[in-house]
Structure formats: structure tokens, C-alpha cells
Amino acid sequence: MNWTEEIFEVRGADGLMRRGIVTLPERTTTDAAVVLLPAGLKDRVGPHRLYVRFARFFASHGVPVLRMDALGIGESDGEFGVAFNGAHYRRIQSGLFVDDTQLAMMGLTEKYAARRFILAGLCGGAITAQLTAASSNARVAGVLSFSHVAVLDEEGPVALRTRSEVVSNSRAYIRKIFSFDAWKRIFLGESSLRSIVSTVAELAYLSLEKAGLVRVRWANENPQFFSSFRCLQQAHIPQKMIFAERDARWTAFRELVVDGFLDGQLRGKGYDISVIAEANHEFYLSQWTQQLIQLSFQWVRSVLNLPRTFDVVADQGTGNEDDVVEGARAMNEEAGVPPSLMSHRIITSIEELEQWRDQWNNVEAQRISSSPFSSYLFSLCWWKHYAASNYELRVILVFDGDTLIGIAPIYLQTALYKLNVATLHLIGQGESEKEEVCAEYQDIIAIAGRETAVVNEVIEALCGLDEWSKFAAKDLLSDSLILKCLLSELKRRGMTTEFRETGQRYRIRLPATWSEYLSGLSQNHRRKINLARRRLAECGDGHISVVETADELPAAMQALAELHARRWAQRGLPGVFSSRRFMKFHQDWTQHLLRSNRLGLTTLSVNTQPIASLYKVLDGTTAYYYQSGANIEDWGRLSPGRVMLSAAIERAIEHGYKWFDFMRGSDESYKSNYGCETDPMYAVAVFRNNAGGRLAKKISSIKSRVSALAGRVK
């Protein structure tokens, strides 16, 4: 769809003119308009022309957009007084541009008959949008914020702890409440009773504040953020917040708001938070801009109930200001062909799926973030060894014309018993716990830039399948398409959804050298690693071997299985390698990994006797620590597990890997000793509004209550 741009002017009661640019679609598909508000002191163009790309893309999809200059900015009248930028930012964060935004909304209603508004903006524009929506909520359909700011630019006047510090300390005290040693330290004066009492008091204030009974000022916060946030929740105005992973604003927001105010939940009543991996504050790279625009349009389309006429398509990264729009036109209107080129196909047999091997690999190679547990070979191996009589493939292939652009690798687990319901799982999940593969970071697979179009088509396919009652997936990252896109849309279509945190992803951002990595560890842990290595060297005949040929693989796998079983036997458990199916699967998969140079299987031996083993999967820029085993009973003095793990990290650094991924762990894992960054991981479930779905939801609720009760009893 074509678009045009016009100068927008509206005069306030002060006689001063506010100006901007309205980008108008050739054919409007809504009675709403988007208002992009100034990013701090930047004008209507936005940083790196972000606002221009955003507005033209939305207009090409039928939504008018105003890029506004507030008083004193760009082409608008007025001037800012002389002051440090921090002082100006603080005024903006406190609502300086709210009146200008309300004037702009009135002007859009008078000139273009806009009845509803999506208020949007980056940084200062985000808080302006939220504050305006809280004061003019009758006309605001939603708030869309980028790199939102919940702290004041200047330091707060008080030195209290932040919410997250209080919550974190309180959880630590609760865990220690039945610890004899903890109480002993208090009575001996080794722990600060004053600090404990202070934390308990602050936690009580926090609880009262959440209940709306008191108002507490926490360190460096913007008090208007929280009051306006609650106002939007009470008025049922949805808010979409998009952050950049490498932005200090996200770090502050996560600590102050997500962890301290929202109990760590990225989705909740009236809000939804997404984080774009690796992006900076202004989303200046083309790929980051594309993701931001796609996430924004998908959310706006849902809020405004826009017709599904256009697929969200973005450019492939040339960096020119018109790329987003031209990409959409090229895909959706090229040669007069309508947008109905998007289609899907459901694969129900392994023989049919094998025909798409090369195309699957091509899609996997072009996605933004890959996972070895979403690869074609992993899926094929898992299905070969784990598919039961009640498992039926339902792999959804998504096409643009004749080109495969996305895959939903799922299967249907039909009911065997009366209390079971037909459930969709990702391939690699759904097996019994005692022999589960623990496939993590799985997701819908999509070519970069086509994620939203793929998810939309997957949703159409799922809604067209009437044979399932529940969809379940676990160990998902917060930026997965399932969490970001699929759940909200299925919920909008009348289904019930739930998600819970299952643990943390632990991974090390690897430096250039081993010595640099060691220097970043605590002195105590660094000493332990060096001591373990020194003791191994003193043994004389200790060495680490790496599997490099197919002939070496069987013996190394057998050593891994035996050492893993020996380690778990100390806990009175058999270990997963005792499962014949689990062992067969890994014997098969490691052969594929070895042939493609993606297997990292190492064995530590002393006098030819294996005493430790470590199994890594190598994929792209990441080395995944998958499994291990060690003979602690006989060789504990050498700390063989620590030796193997440190050697694996060092080898990953030497081979130029960017990340060493420990995969999922608990909140208090040994993995934190290795200098890891953490990301939450989630399990999700979708229940269809049918008899089976309602039954599954009731069973899930009962299990949650029993689990919570067991946790309290424990």
C-alpha cells in the first residue's frame, strides 16, 4: 500500500505551534492513529531515522502515524532554557510533554477523524506516552514503549535499597529460616541482625505498597512511573514494552520494575515485555529495527483488531530508510500478486518430512538465534527413538509462495487414558521424565525478518487443527516466538494460557584468552581450578582425550554412561543413561554431530582409566555443556569434574566460541561460580476451549496446588 506525508500543526492556548509529520496510508484500515513522541530531546526523525522507518511501515499497512516535535524541539515553537541535559531529561520524565501530546491527539481527531490512539516512543517518549495515557485514558487504546525508563536521570534524593535488593535478600533469609548454622551466626553476632530486621521491614512496606495501602520511595525511581502504570492496569489499557538487551536502561528497569515490582514476570495484567537480543538503546542496526517494528506491528494489530490483510515483512538489512516499506511492498504487492501467497502445509509422516531436510536446514541457517535442539537431525533422531504408538507428526511448514520460510516442529500425543487429553508437543519434548532428552531453547523456526508472518501462519494452522486440546512446551527463553507472539494471539482467540519459570539459563560470555577468563572469577574459585589442575599434573599420567573419529566414539560414550551412572548412584538414583532408549538416541545423534564437526566429547583418564567425561554440543558461536560424569568416590581429591569443565571452557575459548552454555540450572546452581550470565526459562501451556482443554486445565490447576502444598510442607 502506498503512503503520503503531510505537515501537521496544532496551536496551543499559549499561542505556540506544535509541529510534526503525519504519514498517511493510501487506504486506512482503522479509526486509530499512532503518535510517536520525542525520544528525549531528539526530533521527529528519531535516532538513526527509527521513527521514519516505523511510520512508513505502519502507514504501508493501513495505520496513520504522527511523528511529533514537542515545544522547543525540531520545527515546533518554543525553546528550552539553559541547563544540563540531565535537568531537561528529568523534566521530560516527570511529564513535561504530556500537554503537547494531548494537543496532538485533539489535532488528529479534528483533521483526520482519529478516534483512538496508540501512544508510542523511545526512552523519554515512552514515559511521556505512559503518563499521557494515564491522564487521557478514554481515548488511548494502548501504549507502545521502547527502552522505557523508570528511573530519574539525576540521582534520587534518598539512598534506600531498590525493590529487587529487598526481595532478593528476603528470599535468602526465608531459605535459611530452618538453618541451624544461620541462627547460630545470629546469636554469635556474626550476622547483622539490624540488616535482617531492616530487610523484613522493607519487605513489609513493599507488600503494603503492592496492596495500594502505602507509598514507599525506593532508590532512584521515578514515582510517577508506578502510579501511572497502575492507572493503565485499572483502566485496562494494554502496554507493550520493548527493550534492548545491551541497554543500561533495561538493566535498571529489570531490577527496579520486573524483579522488584512485577515478581520477575515479563507478562502480566495489562503489560507485555520483549527484549531484543544484543541490541543497543537506540536499536540502530537494521536487524534490530526490523525486530522492533515487527513486534510493534503484531501487537498493534492485535490491540486494534486490524484486518489480516498484510503480512509483516521487513527488509533484509541494507540500512536505507525506505527498506522496511519497500520490503513489504516487494513481498506483498510485487507484480500485483495479493498477500495470500502465505500458506502452510502439515507434515504427518517421517517419510514426507525427510523430503524437506535441505529446506529445513536452510531455514535454520537463516534464523536470528539457532539451537541444536531445533535442528533437522536432532528432530529426526528423537522421533526415530522416542516416537510411541500414540505419537503423530504434525510438523507445520510455512511458505511464502514456493519458498519455505518457517517451521513449527510439533507432534500430537493422543490420549491413551480417560484423564489424558490430546496434546501438542515440540519434537524433543513430552517423553517420560526418567528418559527425557532435555531439549532446551526450542521454538518456532523462522527466517530472520519473517518471524511474525511465520507465527501468524502457524496460528492459522493450529486453529484449523481440531484434534488437540492442549499445547505444552518447556525450557523456553523469554525472547522465543512462542512466548512473545504465539501465546498472546491464541489467548485472544479464546484459549486459556499459562506459563511459569522453570529455572535459569547459565552461560559464559567468553573473552579472548583463558587468562582473561580466569581473572574474572572469584579468587576462591580461581584457586580451586588451579589446584585441581596442579594435582592432576602431579599424578604423572593424567591426560584428556577428545573424540575425533567414529572408531573412538563407542568407547567414549560407554565411559560417559558408566561415569554418569556412578555419580548418580551416590544419590541413590540410576541416571538417564540407564534408559536404553536414551542411550540409543545419543549413540545415534553423536554420530551425526561427529560427522558435522559439532561434537565435543572428552574423557579424562589417569593410567588409562577413565575418571571423568564431558559431552558438549557445538553449534554456531556456542559450545553447549550437555552432560557429564565423574568418579568422585575414588578420585575426588583430583576434582575431576572441575578439571574437565575448566578444560572444556578453555578449549571453547581457543576455538573462538563466543558463548559457553551450561543450559538450564536452578537459582542456586554451582554454575554461577563460573562467571555466568543468566536468563529466565519458562514452561507454557495453552488450553483449548473444549471439553479436553477444560479437563486439562483443571488437572493442571490441581497439580499446581499439590506442588505448592508440597513445597510449603517441605
Per-residue H/E/C for 197-227? HHHHHHHHHHHHHHCCCCCCCCCCECHHHHH
Residue 646 within a domain: yes
Max mean pLDDT range (169-173, 179-183, 413-417, 481-485)? 481-485
Asked if pLDDT for residue 327 goes beyond 60, the answer is: no
According to the model, what pLDDT value does residue 219 have? Answer: 54
Asked if pLDDT for residue 685 goes beyond 90, the answer is: yes
According to the model, what pLDDT value does residue 575 have? Answer: 82
In the structure, what pLDDT confidence band is assigned to residue 493 with cuts at 50, 70 and 90? confident
Asked if pLDDT for residue 556 goes beyond 70, the answer is: yes
Name the burial class of residue 540, with classes exposed (0-12), middle (13-18) and buried (19+) by CB atoms within 10 angstroms of its CB: exposed
The dihedral region occupied by 584, where left means phi > 0, alpha psi between -120 and 50, and beta the remainder, is alpha
- Tens digits of per-residue pLDDT, 612-658? 999 999 998 999 999 999 998 889 889 999 999 999 999 999 999 99
Residue 647 within a domain: yes
- Tens digits of per-residue pLDDT, 419-475? 568 999 999 999 988 889 999 999 999 998 888 889 989 998 998 888 899 999 999
Asked if pLDDT for residue 322 goes beyond 50, the answer is: no
Q: What range defines the domain where residue 90 resides?
A: 3-154+221-303
Examine the fold and report which residue of 252, 279, 303 is the final residue of a domain before the chain moves on.
303
* 186 and 100 assigned to the same domain: no
Residues 414/392, Cβ–Cβ less than 8 Å:
yes
* 444 and 410 assigned to the same domain: yes
* 233 and 258 assigned to the same domain: yes
Provide the residue count of the chain. 714
Closest residue by Cα to residue 682 from 408, 472, 478? 478
Share of the chain above pLDDT 90, in %: 50
The H-or-E segment that residue 130 falls in is helix 124-135
Share of the chain above pLDDT 70, in %: 85
Asked if pLDDT for residue 326 goes beyond 60, the answer is: no
* 258 and 295 assigned to the same domain: yes
The H-or-E segment that residue 403 falls in is strand 403-408
According to the model, what pLDDT value does residue 255 have? Answer: 76
* 378 and 359 assigned to the same domain: yes
| Residue tagged 486494534 (cell numbers) | 304
Asked if pLDDT for residue 660 goes beyond 90, the answer is: yes
Residue 599 within a domain: yes
Examine the fold and report which residue of 642, 657, 672 is the final residue of a domain before the chain moves on.
657
Residue 437 within a domain: yes
In the structure, what pLDDT confidence band is assigned to residue 252 with cuts at 50, 70 and 90? confident
- Residue 581 sits in a domain whose CATH number is 3.40.630.30
Asked if pLDDT for residue 34 goes beyond 90, the answer is: yes
* 585 and 705 assigned to the same domain: no
- Residue 283 sits in a domain whose CATH number is 3.40.50.1820
* 101 and 132 assigned to the same domain: yes
**Domains contained in the chain, number:** 4
**Farthest-apart Cα atoms in the chain, separation:** 90
Asked if pLDDT for residue 154 goes beyond 60, the answer is: no
Better-predicted residue by pLDDT, 666 or 82: 666
Residue 313 and residue 683: Cα distance in Å, rounded? 29
* 707 and 595 assigned to the same domain: no
* 605 and 575 assigned to the same domain: yes
Residue 418 within a domain: yes
Residue 216 within a domain: no
Asked if pLDDT for residue 190 goes beyond 70, the answer is: no
* 577 and 637 assigned to the same domain: yes
- Tens digits of per-residue pLDDT, 105-153? 999 999 999 999 999 999 999 999 999 999 877 789 999 999 998 877 5
* 178 and 83 assigned to the same domain: no
Residue 323 within a domain: no
* 439 and 463 assigned to the same domain: yes
Residue type, 662: F
- Tens digits of per-residue pLDDT, 509-543? 999 999 999 999 999 999 999 999 999 888 878 88
Residue 540 within a domain: yes
Asked if pLDDT for residue 667 goes beyond 90, the answer is: no
Strands 403-408 and 445-446: antiparallel
What mean pLDDT value characterizes the chain? 84
